[in-house]
Structure 1
Amino acid sequence: MTPSPAVGIEAAAVLLPEHRDRAEAAVEAGRMTPRQAHEVGHRELPASRDLSAPDMAAAAADEALRRARVDGKELDTVCHAWMYYQGHDLWSPAHYIAHRVGAHRAVPFGVQQVCNGGAAAIDLVGARLAARAGERDREAGAGAAVWGLSTTGDRFSGPGFDRWASDYGVGYGDGGTALVLRSPVGPQTPLAVLAMATVAAPELEAMHRGSDAFAEAARDLRPRVDMRATKRDYLRRHGGEGFARVNEESIVGVTEEALQRAGLEAADGRIRRALLPRFGRKTLEGSWIPLLRERLRADLVDVGADTGHLGAGDTPAGVADLLEGDRLEPGEVALVYSAGAGFTWSCLVLQAPQR
């Protein structure tokens, strides 16, 4: 995506539950070994005791809309992305969130691109807003902004999911995220979307399917989501060299494509930070950090040390970090990365506009 008219991010919010699931307790309970705890690198993860995934997303949406000073009825589009179970078997959480925030004139969409869903939602909402703003300009000249909302929400609760033991190299944290987007960019919009790139390797989908037969219902084959089992099966049949090669090519390729779309060189001094996916220590140090350090002058930031992997929420949570923490100076640029099963890799290029 290289949106025209331009798309901006007006506000962001993240809701993380107060309760924490500690790695030490997980080791004591036999959910993972001390070595696995070291490889993941998280001391604790946010764990919801009562709020559902869509409720966390809706709460984040309320806060983001408040910060943007936008009413729900002004929204044109609502897009919700998720990775894991949303609380009902056959139901649209995107419509629920639209209902909760009063977006009764909006069109709700749901995105299931697993861990990369939050990035995909931003891409889809941004493209739709730019198209709608362009339609308005052609029909009646430059007019008011077109507004959109992108949310994510995931709760990795037992017994169906073990946030420490259902996957390799990743600890899963609960939380909801929300972004308020607009097109065109406004005079006070804090971040402009310069570009977004996404690459995929569908041939790797079997890594999360293994040799399992297609089941009749969720968890018919196993009582708990077990991505370790399907990955072991895939690696036993195919080896790990192919995945390692495609992963490296995709991290490099999505970076180059995003920068090219944004009109930037990798060595451009305006690129201040690159926010890494919220994966575990071993995963980041084994591929992401060395590959990006070779190519970028920007600071590489592990934003997930205290949250773990937020399911579909890594990219929007990263955007929120840019708005709430060490903000970009005018003209500075940040890259926000995410990746997920399938496999899919995304890079979002954001800039603090010159005033």
Structure 2
Amino acid sequence: MKTEGIHLAAVATHLPPLHPTRRAVAEGRYDEQDRQDSGIESVPDAGDTTGPDLAVRAARTALARSGHHSSDFAALLHSSVHFQGPDGWSAQHYVLRHTLDRPVTAVEVRQGCLGMLSALEMAACRLTADPDGPPAVLLTAGDNFNTPLADRWRASKLFLLGDAGAAAVVSRHPGFARLLAVGSVSTPSMEELHRGGEPLFPPGPTLGRTLNLEERREYWRREWARGVPPPMGNFADTVAAAAHRTLNEAGLTMADITRVCHIGFSELPLQASFLDPLDIDAERGIWEFTRTTGHLGAADPVAGLEHLWTSGQTRPGDHVMVIGASPGMEAGCAVVEITAPRPAHEEDARA
């Protein structure tokens, strides 16, 4: 979707203290060979701080940077991957109460790790459709994987799960970046890959079943061995399709893209699923950052973009691609143009 007059007024990330992967090996939580294969050096560990509270901390920083008042906001869109709090409770209204505290709609965007990119598209649509309404939408995300139903070290060979909060202020007023295009492409024939033969009812968590994507991948290995083909599709093709369609809508090519913000996969899966399909090397991506954070769930896109901007690795006129993925399978992409220099005081750039 090509966009006109939509900007990022601010972004912010709250990263808890880092837990080194070497320490996790020494603690018996992680295997040394897996550590070496992943290339990941550390992940943020929030202890007992809730996902919604991580989102609130990031949101308060983003709001302070944005120059907007709470009365400027039309909505709040909150994303998450893991459990947020009591069953039947509304995390998004908790975040709303502790940030804007206004009687606007607060919506949960359940789109897995693609949540914030999908929310960005929704915000752009809302701000475009109602040009006389409030000029801003607040996006938030927050996850803490320290629960009995998730093992951040062994849930998947594709990534290690890191805790974080993130926020973005999407606005019709100029900010530090201009949104040129945003959208997504899905390959629903691959939906079963993340189901792996697990029954839909009763839902696994209600029975105490943990998040174990490796177990589901192993299911398909066994099925293939006995002659049952797995769901067919190439996720790398989905990533490439989302990127090239968004570039076309933005009127750009990959040659125009200065840097790429990708999700925090481990080294080899990152190469196969994102870097190779985009025909870029790790230096053009943000591996130097994501190898220290792992996979931050829905917060990845904002965390990467904030890192590039506040560390001075982008400057006005640069084009940045932000790309992510979710089960389904679906890939999402946004292309932004940096319109302002890095913050004057780097120490003010993080929540």
**TM-score, L = length of structure 1:** 0.88
Look up the match of 2:202.
216
Q: How many Å separate the matches in 2 of 1:194 and 1:259?
A: 9
Aligned to 1:258: 246
Tell me: CA distance 1:348–1:28, structure 2 relative to 1, closer, same or farther (3 Å).
same
Alignment pair present for 1:3 and 2:29: no
Q: How do 1:117-196 and structure 2 match up within 5 A?
A: 117-133=115-131, 136=132, 146-183=135-172, 185-186=173-174, 189-196=175-182
Identity of aligned residues (%): 26
Summarize the Cα distance change of 1:10–1:234 in structure 2 as closer, same or farther, 3 Å threshold: same
Distance 1:354-1:10 versus aligned 2 partners, 3 A rule = closer
Contact 1:338 1:345 in 2 (8 A): yes
* Matching residue of 2:56: 58
What runs of 5+ residues in structure 1 fail to find an aligned partner?
Answer: 137-143
Residue number in structure 1 paired with 2:299: 313
Aligned residue type for 1:158 = T
Q: Secondary structure at the match of 1:248?
A: helix
SS at match of 1:172: coil
Name the CA distance, whole Å, in 2 between partners of 1:101 and 1:21. Answer: 28
Equivalent residue runs for 1:1-355 within 5 Å = 1-4=1-4, 6-18=5-17, 20-133=18-131, 136=132, 146-183=135-172, 185-186=173-174, 189-237=175-223, 245-268=233-256, 271-293=257-279, 299-302=284-287, 303-353=289-339
Inter-CA distance 267–69: structure 2 relative to 1 (3 Å threshold): closer
User: Quick one: distance in 1 between partners of 2:112 and 2:183?
Assistant: 17
Deviation at 1:237, TM superposition (A): 2.7
The one-character-per-residue Cα deviations of 1:250-281 (angstroms, maximum 9, x if unpaired) are 1211111011000112323xx21112221111
8 A Cα contact 2:96 2:102, kept in partner: yes
- Residues 225-255 of structure 1 deviation map (CA, whole Å, 9 limit, x = unaligned): 2111112213433589977852121121111
TM-score (norm 2): 0.89
Partner SS for 1:50: coil
CA shift in 2, pair 1:319/1:127, >3 Å: farther
Q: What residue in structure 1 maps to residue 347 of structure 2?
A: none
- SS of 1:224's partner is coil
Deviation (angstroms), 1:308: 0.9
- Distance (Å, rounded) in 1 between the aligned partners of 2:202 and 2:35: 34
User: Helix, strand or coil for the counterpart of 1:267?
Assistant: helix
Check the 8 A contact 2:187/2:233 in 1, yes or no: no
Q: Is the 8 A contact 2:152 2:161 kept in 1?
A: yes
Q: CA offset at residue 47 of structure 1?
A: 0.6
Shift of 1:346: 1.1
SS at match of 2:108: strand
- Structure 2: gaps of 5 or more residues: 342-351
Deviation at 1:21, TM superposition (A): 2.7
The Cα shift of 1:113 comes to 0.8
Q: Pick closer, same or farther for the CA change 1:290–1:242 going to 2, 3 Å.
A: farther
Q: CA RMSD in A?
A: 2.5
Structure 1: distance between partners of 2:81 and 2:321: 23
2:152 partner SS: coil
Alpha-carbon displacement from aligned partner over 1:270-319 (angstroms, at most 9, x marks no partner): x211122211112112342223226x999232231111101111112122
